[in-house]
Chain A
Amino acid sequence: MGRILSFFNQEAQLIKALRQEDARAQRQVYEKYGPRMLGVCFRYLGDEMTAEDVMVEGFLKVFGKIDQFNSEGSFEGWIRRIMVNEALGLLRKRKQMPEDILSDEAANIPDYNYADQNIETQELLNLIEQLPVGYRTVFNLYAIEGYAHSEIAELLGITESTSKSQLHRARALLQKMVGAWENDFKKKLNYEKASG
């Protein structure tokens, strides 16, 4: 594997080889970005099998439309956008897009000004997975991917105000869940100290 990875040193050469449909270059791109892109897909879909399906489709698109990539931007960013669009496309097919009607679940949540740095990545993933699909999608796009509300509105076919309100409620739910996790974590520590 190392031999394959070392074959194309620079990204420009890699992209050039991809344009010539070089199988080794494609393999290298997959090896380099595959796990990260699977993570992206997983964040949106919350299911490993489905996420992998979307990732495969995404890579097919990456290899098929490599001519559309202009070398000015980041290659990884371009691949990531393709993956995000693929994931959103699947959600759209499933009709799991954000709705204007908001649940009352997120109402009256205390505002935590801190977030525990001890929380594990897997725990955070679990928390995100528990979010309603609409909240999770907007939160992923805004907080993690860095899209603006206008872009999110365009991508999801909703209004900007809907995007903002969905984000607000996603944050509130996550804070509540992080707070609950924090309390459990402290209780566990105290119990361990008391028993130890």
Chain B
Amino acid sequence: MADTTAVAAGLPSESGAKGLKGGALGLLSTTVIGVASTAPAFSLAASLGLVTLAVGLHAPAIMLLAFAPMLFIAAAYFYLNRADPDCGTTFTWVTRAMGPNLGWLAGWGIVMTDLVVMPSLSQIAGKYTFLFFGADGVANGVFWVTVVGVVWIIIMTWICYVGIELSARTQVALLGAEIVILAGFALVALIKVYSGDTTGGLHPRAGWLNPFSIGSTSALASGVLTAVFIYWGWDTAVTVNEESKDSKRTPGIAALLSTLILVGIYVIVTVAAQAFHGADFLTKNSSDVLSALGKDVFGSPWNKLLILAVLTSASASTQTTILPAARSALSMAVHRAAPRKFADIHARYLTPGFATVFFGGLSIVWYVGLSLISKDVLGDSILALGFGIAFYYALTGYACVVYYRRHLFKSFKNLVLIGLAPLLGALGLTWAFLKSLFVYSNPANSTSTTTAWLKFIHFDFKIWHFRFFAKGFGPPLIMGVGLLILGVPLMLLWRAGRPEFFERGREVADTIDGPAPPLTPGVTVVVD
């Protein structure tokens, strides 16, 4: 007598102590996910030198300022996620609000941005692995760092493929250690600065925190575009709300808590780092800035702690890069915007197996290729990354305003949270994007690299006050913007072959409180 299949919901769980469990994410876990996804130690290691390159001693101000657009866009994430907690996130939302073409490009933007960050992650992981073992000479070579970086991608892809997840307690412990080490670093550095126990040390000044004292808007824009990356991933604290225990309050408080932790740690560490040896030291050592500082601040063997923090942080960051990339691809495939294969779920591990492995493989190809042609893999990647993040975050902001347009003026809260905040965030990122286009089109502005790519493209003309000049382009621009543009022909190609996805119309939200009807009715329950 076979009974029909039931999906059991609301089965009593054993206890609340099991941590990260579907259906019951606590405040601590949600906060940890948000902070760990941004990977503070890795973000600082990768970007500190580049921010000081752009704005010198105003780096702490940029750390503060770059958070504003992220905060504003997070409001968009929060409200759009309410309507549709689909793992395609921006892809799904932009498709609903602004139509399938832009939606497709947004999805492409997410995956490409995830791809662009992989070389910097692998580079840092490879380099810091050698630094950890004291093989500083090897750490400066390209070959072995690349080899270890590739091994790193393979291991992390495999971990995502078989679906290993650290227990909640382990994650809290790792993140806790990371934060404590960074705070300890800042404290020791500042004590040494004030006791005069350092060369080239500077006493921190209030002016370091003032973004308005940055003279040039170009410096401001490129600083923001670089620093946006350090907060990237923070929005997951807001979007895991579906799993939260109390999904009305938990994500909000978690977002607030993780904000305080992140902004606090970034500003304090940046202040301490540049107080210690000045800003030029950070710029000169931009490829291994935390390791270089750690040696002088902590001394051996305590500096290994800082290196270890960067490594664990990079592993968390790799995971939070591979998972969303694979899920975005899965979501696009489910909605017929990408080949069906990407929606495959591994029968045993229940992960998006094909999408995960494909992304891992693509990352290796991209990383090795880049190592062969770029002189500064890390710098070029981080700068390029800013373009991608600004692109799809800005789209998310606009999508929120457009999608909820009928509800904007219903209350003051609506106006601020689903209107002004997302719009301001999106406009800010759009401005940083466009301004940086000009800055980075000149290869001399991209970190230590002065080699231009595509030198045959040469123009020089003037429209009104703006001079358009290029003799080749800087690598960050080609990677960042080039990959986004590559999406257009690919989209047209896909559209020509499989027009289904592109036949849908735009939607507008009926309510801001509840879920929207499915984007593509019925497709998610299909199993092939």
| A, B assembled together | no
Contact surface of A with B, Cβ cutoff 8 Å: none
